Amino acid sequence: MSEQNIIQSARDYVSNLLKAAGENGFKPAESWDLRLVDASAKRALQRNYYPTVAAGLIPAAVTQFIKEVKAAMARSDASFTRVGNIDLKTCELQFLVAYNAKRPRR
């Protein structure tokens, strides 16, 4: 995956976060929690929270993608976005999932 593709994918991901927040009535004080997870943890987050926005990542692109997502979120005027702690030590993690911990699925 080229650097330009990673940058564009990160911008698309942040755009999807903004759309999901708007469509689901996020208040200015609400934030996204971002977690780097494997497939089973992704399913658990999607089962327990709504909305969620997930992006599949190849291991070689994880660090650059997250860096670009953080930069794109900082550039956006969306005060509700927050990037949580992301642990890059485990290479087999494959999905970046955004969810709001205050919005459990009912």
Q: Is the pLDDT of residue 17 over 80?
A: yes
| Contact assessment for residue 96 and residue 66, using Cβ atoms and an 8 Å cutoff | yes
| Contact assessment for residue 97 and residue 54, using Cβ atoms and an 8 Å cutoff | yes
Backbone angles phi, psi at 28, to 5 degrees: -55, -30
Q: How far apart are CA 28 and CA 86, in angstroms?
A: 23
Residue 78 tokens read as 């969306």
| Contact assessment for residue 98 and residue 52, using Cβ atoms and an 8 Å cutoff | yes
pLDDT tens by residue, 66-106: 888 888 887 876 544 555 556 666 656 688 898 988 899 87
Q: Is the pLDDT of residue 1 over 80?
A: no
Q: What is the DSSP letter of 29?
A: T
Every domain of the chain and the residues it spans: 3-99
pLDDT tens by residue, 37-50: 889 999 999 999 99
